[in-house]
Structure 1
Amino acid sequence: MKITIDIDCTPEEARIFFGLPDVQPMQQRLMADLEERLRQNIQDLEPEALFAKWLPMGVQGVEQMQKAMWAAMSGGGKKD
């Protein structure tokens, strides 16, 4: 003998029937936080923001690095 029972209810009704907690408000807060983090990360990928992170001193930092490289290369050929 085979018995089949069909229950027609919404997911919310099934959750309430089984006594499961309503996690929808928590999911909405987490998704809002995730969306804000994603927006911030996308803004950090803009060229100006990347340049500011990579070269915090800007052009002056590049010039100082060039001077240091020239000093190292010009002093490398001298014998004591």
Structure 2
Amino acid sequence: MKINVEVDCTPEEARRFMGLPDFTPVHEKYVSNILESMDKGVSPEMMETLMRSWMPMGEASMNIWRKMFDQVGGGSSSS
């Protein structure tokens, strides 16, 4: 037997229904830090170093994200 259920709700309503935490303040702080760094004229290399320090698991986390974007974009990972 196959049953399909369609739920029409906003992402916020789904998050609350599933009991997931609200990371909006963390996201806003993260974005504001990136924008502030860009306004100060940070080089791409410095931005990468900064993002590595903010990312949990450091290099491993960056590699996971890079591979995910490569797969979605249809590209191949160079590492």
TM-score, length of structure 1 as denominator length: 0.48
- Kindly indicate which of the two structures has a greater share of residues assigned to helix: 1
Rg larger for: 1
TM-score, length of structure 2 as denominator length: 0.49
